[in-house]
Amino acid sequence: MKRLSPDLWVPFLFILSLYFIPAISTATSRDIPKGQMIFEQRCAACHGFNAKGSYPMSKTLKVDPLVLDLTKPGTTHRSMVELQAVVSNGHYKMPKHREALTPRQIRAVVKYLRSLQTSLAYRSPR
Ligand code: HEC
């Protein structure tokens, strides 16, 4: 078998390295679409696709509609860790998700929630 010419090694290694770029550089940005899928499947029924809360669901659950709005200041001011804890352990009528979702999935869905909050959060006119 003919040995690969040294002149071919450099381009070969260069092209090989391109294969790994997506795996390295987008490990975190890929959490957004993954989190979006989880949010739309498991959270939107109560919290709405835009995280502003589902009014009909607030009637069903007998809670104030604002409780389901995750873009209110009371919720946007919470840290990532606090949000992950609520999703994992549940709270009052909010179901716990630690059996349905892995810690990584919970991080992804909270990251997506945060992206909704920062694009939709109510800003006071002042
Ligand atoms: C069955 C309806 C329902 C589903 C499904 C649901 N939630 Fe909730 N969620 C609630 C209710 C009700 C509350 C308010 C709980 C309380 O009174 O403390 C809440 C509270 C929260 C809070 C805390 C808000 C705050 O200000 O403290 C976060 C964060 C949250 N939900 C995220 C999620 C995420 C993420 C998902 C999907 C993985 C999800 N929820 C699925 C009903 C739901």
pLDDT tens digits, residue range 20-68? 776 655 545 566 789 999 999 999 999 999 999 999 999 999 999 999 9
Closest residue by Cα to atom 10, ligand 1, is: 94
Tokens of 67: 């409780």
Total number of domains constituting the chain: 1
Backbone region of residue 10 per phi and psi (left: phi > 0; alpha: psi in -120 to 50; beta: other values): alpha
| More confident site: 95 or 32 | 95
Instruction: Supply the pTM of this predicted model.
Output: 0.78
As a whole number, mean pLDDT of residues 68-83 equals 95
In a domain, 74, yes or no: yes
Residue 90 CB less than 6 A away from ligand 1: no
As a whole number, mean pLDDT of residues 69-87 equals 96
In a domain, 19, yes or no: no
Please report, as a single letter, which amino acid is at residue 27. Answer: A
Distance CA 80, CA 48 (A): 20
User: Would you say residue 111 has pLDDT above 90?
Assistant: yes
Q: Is 22 helix (H, G, I), strand (E, B) or coil?
A: helix
Tokens 């919290």, located at residue: 47
Instruction: Say which CATH number the domain at 60 has.
Output: 1.10.760.10
Q: 91 CA distance to ligand 1 centroid (A)?
A: 7
Q: Which domain holds residue 72?
A: 29-120
> Nearest CA to 37 among 109, 88, 113?
109
In a domain, 7, yes or no: no
Question: Which among 61, 71, 94 is the best mutation to test ligand 1's pocket, defined by most ligand atoms within 8 Å of the CB?
Answer: 94
In a domain, 125, yes or no: no
Question: Which among 86, 106, 116 is the best mutation to test ligand 1's pocket, defined by most ligand atoms within 8 Å of the CB?
Answer: 86
